[in-house]
A = this chain, B = another copy of it.
């Protein structure tokens, strides 16, 4: 939840939960002095509560109204419905499929959409639905119309762009604001846009990185969820950087996705609060 900052907010929330016998197992909060907003995340042991999630939400509403809270109550046993979008580079996809299959990352994988056929075999090997949705430059509207339909049909909570190399239409970005997670293969804000490893090689940087962020209609400029870097040197070619970067992309996207599916990420304007 988030609301205007003030005295007694932790007590108000934790007191209400305690009055129901709720056992808080994780409490995280953050006050942003720039915006004057307060952010909070609580984990409650479900068996300590005398009722279900709907009654909890009902019971929480009066307090939320009094403090003008934006809030969400989620049952961690109800998995988020996720669609993965991918193009040709499949390292992030393969990495996510393994983490999903072994339950390292727990989400409800509704399917994989690609503008290429190349990853179909791997996806179907995991008994996951594969949708080939080509994006013809001359018929982008049709392609993305089909894609949006698939997202809507599956009631997707979260779209993961696992090296999906098409720019999404503005309207789709807005409809799914805060629900599309991308991995960009540079340490943003450096080297946004195309061919970031080529750009990094030309500039002669000594570290390259990857950035996972929520997608907005402003390319590569959305709220950053997670970043990391790896060392390179003068001997590394662009191809070496691509290879070294893949490992960073995989771990950064997997970490960001973990934070998002565990509801650890709150958007704060163009930044994020990540309660790790």
Contacts and interface: CB of A to CB of B under 8 A. Distances in A.
Given A91-B98, A229-B229, A234-B271, A188 B205 contact: yes
Q: For chain A, give the interface size range.
A: 35 or more
Interface stretch (A25-33, A77-85, A166-174): A25-33
A224 B251 contact: no
Interface stretch (A16-24, A58-66, A67-75, A149-157): A16-24
A207 B229 contact: yes
Number of copies: 4
A25 B235 CA distance: 11
Contacts of A268: 234
B27 A31 contact: no
Contacts of A235: 30
Nearest to A29: B27
Contact of A10 (B24, B33, B207): B24
A194 to B, nearest CB: 16
A189 interface: yes
B206 A227 contact: yes
A11 interface: yes
Interface of A: 6-12, 14-15, 17-19, 21-33, 48, 90-91, 94, 98, 102, 104, 125, 187-191, 203-207, 209, 223-229, 233-235, 237, 243, 246-247, 251, 254, 268, 270-274, 276
Q: Which 6 A-B pairs have the closest CB atoms?
A: A204-B271, A11-B18, A11-B14, A8-B18, A7-B23, A10-B14
